[in-house]
Amino acid sequence: MTDVVGGDASRSTLDAMAAATWDEPWYRTDRGRANSFGLRSRHHGTKDPGGHAFWRSGDRFGALQGVVTNRRALGLSEAELFERVLEAPHATLPRLDGPFCIVCCDGDADRIVLAVDKLGARQWHYTADDPFRFGTSVSPLLVDIDRPQVDLRGVSDLLLIGQVWGDRTLVEEVRTLPTGCVLEYDAGERTVSRYRTFDFGRSAPEGYASELARRYRRAVGETAETVEGSLGLWLSGGLDSRALGTVLADRGDLSNTFTYDSRPVGRDPPIARRVACEWDVSNTPVSLTPDRVLDRIDDGIALTDGLIPWPSFLNLSTVFQIGDAADVVAEACGQGVLLGSGIWQPDAEGGRSAAEILYRGEHWLDAESVRDLMPVGLDPMATYREATDPDGSTTSDPGGLGSSGLGSSRLGSGGFGRSELEVGTVGGSGVDRTGDGRTGGDDLSRALAGLHRYYFQRGDFVSNRIARSQVGTRVPYANEALLSHVERMPYAYRERTVPFTRGVIPYGCAPLKLDLVRRLADRTNDRLATIPYERSGLAPRHPLGCHAAGFVCTTVADRLRSRPTYGGVSIGGAWYREHEEFRTYVDDLLAAACERPFFDGAELRRRRRAHLAGKRDEIQAIAAVTTVERWLGAHVDASPRDRVPVGRRA
């Protein structure tokens, strides 16, 4: 993993922090030091020269990981970029586009500025107490902390959301800088503030989709221009990677595509080959098997700091098979949520509170399951209330949402639809102010703001750290023109659910995803709109209602054949039942987790038995708990000298 570490630290401490990060033979390291401040930036060197920058000027120095896609358009040199962020961050950062994290240090003035981009495509972590230190990974910040304390709210979040939100990590000693925020350290005083806020509303539908396509093409083009070597793309049978690749191929930027055979098994590769053929680029299959994943699962947990459950990064473990086939790989992850798949239309109906809307939109386990697995007196729903509170002051739940016991996870977390228990209004305080059954605009806007503030940075983009251990990465969505347009999305473009299913069964595709692919195909190669969409089995040119019917039919057929698919058994769940070595690996961690004072061992064992007996798929609970166990075992239980990334290679 290309990492940055630094802060108020001696040279020997910086050496220890750098040693606790991932390393590869081709990595290069830049160094800066002035007075008590030090900095190390480890990067891909000539493999991705556009994906990093380092600055030195007397007692001032800084590092950037990622790219500022509009730096030249703003008329800024690299040095001017660092100087302006250091001296006037709130005037400078709102103007910057691209996926990046940046640090600027002034040893003479005793000042450090940390900032992350507008969508959280990159991350900064920092120590909660003095001495002030920071890094793009959590584990280097623990090198001289004898007994890190487990952050139980962080563990609860991981079980409930499949992500750790707010500024939390799995340990109390390390915090995370949220999306669109800047941290200023001045002579021992710290200030964290937002330089960008989310302004959600609704535009008129007329002309919205065509303007989205225009802004999308421009954002992708600006991102592609930062790549100096060969550019690849993760290509599935879905529509997000097809849209991204269509723009890249039309520009002549794309040199290769990579496809793994994920759920439903067997459906992605043939579609991806047809799409790549139309682009006239090669398609390289990469193998996703339990044996290969076992070789890399510890690495994945280490690289993601234990902040997402291991099923969330299984697919990206295939990056270790790419080798020299691409210097940089583009990623469409996150696009579906941006285009309306994160919060469905029924989520915003029935007078629900903002917290309940967000919970319905994104969760990994239901709240009651988290209480059963972690009987420690915490209210897991508090995170959703905090995420949707405009001033961050919500700490209680007078409306009773925290004890609602809503149903199991939905499509975004592995489900076909929702549990029947999840339907209806439960303990919410939202007010129906629209007259048509929808929650008032303030509640939906607050839910969307919470989603955008945390979901991408703490979920989708965390797994990109695995890819960045081997190649440069690019995501094009941290672009002000694109984000501001997405924030004005008409309500009709949010994902719908099949009529008479009480909001349980989705269409399988948000309207904008189909519309975007059609418009891009019309502009470049109309045959791309005739190649089937993996979820529905139908070409994008067919109406949305047909895709909904196709999604339901193909999914039901897969489930009847007991194939891994949406809402049925997951790939990880199937491997756990059927592959002895994989099951042994997970069971060893599960047994250790049962001894943790904050987990209910009896409940964990009960869920294990139910899963192995085929009664239900419990892999999401099992995976979240075993991810926590693996990471804590390596970085909290171990002595400081032994805290190096799991599986780190020399």
| Mean pLDDT computed over every residue of the chain | 88
The first and second tokens of residue 275, run together, are: 């799409």
More confidently predicted of 506 and 591: 591
∠345-348-353 over CA atoms, to 5°? 160
Other beta carbons within 10 angstroms of residue 269's beta carbon come to: 18
Distance (Å, rounded) from C-alpha 492 to C-alpha 63? 43
Distance (Å, rounded) from C-alpha 108 to C-alpha 105? 9
Long-range Cβ contact pairs of 291-295 (< 8 A, separation 24 or more): 291/581, 292/317, 292/318, 292/321, 293/317, 293/575, 293/582, 294/581, 294/582, 294/585
CB within 8 A of 27, min separation 6: which ones? 2, 42, 43, 44, 45
**What value does the mean pLDDT take over residues 433-454?**
70
Question: What confidence score (pLDDT) does residue 202 get?
Answer: 85
**What value does the mean pLDDT take over residues 365-369?**
97
Please give the backbone phi and psi of residue 521, each rounded to the nearest 5 degrees, phi first: -65, -40
Between strands 52-57 and 37-43, the pairing is unpaired
More confidently predicted of 566 and 604: 604
Strand (E) or helix (H) holding 65: strand 60-66
Looking at residue 349, the DSSP 8-state letter turns out to be B
**What value does the mean pLDDT take over residues 299-313?**
96
Whether residue 287 contacts residue 321, with contact meaning beta carbons closer than 8 Å, is answered with: yes
- Is CATH 3.40.50.620 what the domain over 208-333+463-498+510-527 is classified as, yes or no? yes
β-sheet with 189-194: strand ranges across: 52-57, 60-66, 100-106, 111-116, 181-186, 189-194
Residue range(s) occupied by CATH 3.60.20.10 in the chain: 4-196
Q: Is the pLDDT of residue 363 over 70?
A: yes
Between strands 60-66 and 52-57, the pairing is antiparallel
CATH of 4-196, one of 1.20.144.10, 3.60.20.10, 3.40.50.2300, 2.30.110.10: 3.60.20.10
Q: Is the pLDDT of residue 272 over 90?
A: yes
Please give the backbone phi and psi of residue 377, each rounded to the nearest 5 degrees, phi first: 85, 5
Helix (H, G, I), strand (E, B) or coil at 175: strand
- Per-residue pLDDT band for 563 (boundaries 50, 70, 90) equals low
Whether residue 426 contacts residue 577, with contact meaning beta carbons closer than 8 Å, is answered with: no
188: left (phi > 0), else alpha (psi -120 to 50), else beta? left
Q: Is the pLDDT of residue 265 over 90?
A: no
β-sheet with 231-234: strand ranges across: 282-286, 254-260, 231-234, 328-330, 472-474
Other beta carbons within 10 angstroms of residue 405's beta carbon come to: 14
Q: pTM for the complete prediction?
A: 0.90
- Report the Cα 297 to chain-centroid distance in Å: 17
Question: What confidence score (pLDDT) does residue 408 get?
Answer: 30
Question: What confidence score (pLDDT) does residue 317 get?
Answer: 93
Between strands 111-116 and 181-186, the pairing is antiparallel
**What value does the mean pLDDT take over residues 501-524?**
87
Other beta carbons within 10 angstroms of residue 189's beta carbon come to: 9
**What value does the mean pLDDT take over residues 183-191?**
96
Q: What is the pLDDT of residues 27-62, one digit of tens each?
A: 999 999 999 999 999 999 999 999 999 999 999 999
Write the burial class of residue 623 (CB in 10 Å: 0-12 exposed, 13-18 middle, 19+ buried).
Answer: buried
Looking at residue 63, the DSSP 8-state letter turns out to be E
Whether residue 20 contacts residue 139, with contact meaning beta carbons closer than 8 Å, is answered with: yes
∠232-237-241 over CA atoms, to 5°? 40
Question: What confidence score (pLDDT) does residue 642 get?
Answer: 60
Residue range(s) occupied by CATH 3.40.50.620 in the chain: 208-333+463-498+510-527
Question: What confidence score (pLDDT) does residue 566 get?
Answer: 54
- For the chain, the maximum distance between any two Cα atoms, rounded to a whole number of angstroms, is 68
- The candidate with the shortest Cα–Cα distance to 27, out of 469, 466, 649, is 469
- Least confident stretch, 160-164, 176-180, 211-215, 552-556: 552-556
- The candidate with the shortest Cα–Cα distance to 157, out of 182, 176, 139, is 176
